[in-house]
Amino acid sequence: MIRLNPRISSLGTRRSYPAGKLLFLAEEPAWEFFHIVSGAVRVYKTDVQGRELEVARFGAGDFLGEAVAFAGGRYPFTAEAVKETRALAFDVAGVLRTVETHPEAARFFIDLMARKCLLLSGRLESLGLRTVRQRLARYLCANCAGERSCVVNLSMKKGELARLLGTAGETLSRTLRQLQADGLIEVRGASIFIKDYQKLKAEAGE
């Protein structure tokens, strides 16, 4: 989570988005980017057959769309509010004018871009080099509050989780059953009881 100081916050315009409202569409010119104040936003791409692949989810404290906005391109994905969401929208032209005269603002946005590069690098590694079982184990471990066992309450439907992990719903269900058969988890509806955190962490390749 990135906290904004008053100078940076003052550059943004407050926006509210009800669930299902789009922040932007794929291929639209990227002239602004967003900081999520509250709520959640999913970012996805639609293929030629109309199927959606969820690329990532963003929550309070996250920035969204800054890399492509600074590059002066078009949004490669569509962004949609998952629930009631409040955000600050930053006009990239106004930000660049501020950066020219305020070193503090320049340092903030340079750091922001560096963080995003690291995040995207990790995301690509996860999708390209890890199996679905490893990706699922990693997701569950990241949302586990304990070091031995815990319960992970899914904040999204299993179909949405499958898209987030870059796989099909059937594959996700099969992987959950396999982890359960191996004694690592127990699926209880929308909750997943992690029975052995350390073994699951090893499955994730952590």
Q: Tens digit of pLDDT for each residue in 68-91? A: 888 888 998 999 999 999 999 999
The answer to whether residues 128 and 178 touch, using CB atoms and an 8 Å cutoff, is no
pLDDT in tens, 29-83: 999 999 999 999 988 888 777 777 777 788 898 888 888 888 888 998 999 999 9
pLDDT score, position 79: 95
Cα distances from 108 to residues 99, 111, 142, 185, in angstroms, run 9, 5, 27, 41
Residue 119 pLDDT: 59
Q: How far apart are CA 53 and CA 122, in angstroms?
A: 18
pLDDT of residue 198: 86
Cross-sheet strand order for the sheet of 78-81: 22-24, 78-81, 40-46, 52-59
Quote the CA–CA distance of 87 and 85 in Å, as a whole number. 7
If you average pLDDT over every residue of the chain, what do you get?
Answer: 84
Share of residues in the chain with pLDDT > 90 (%): 25
Global pTM value = 0.61
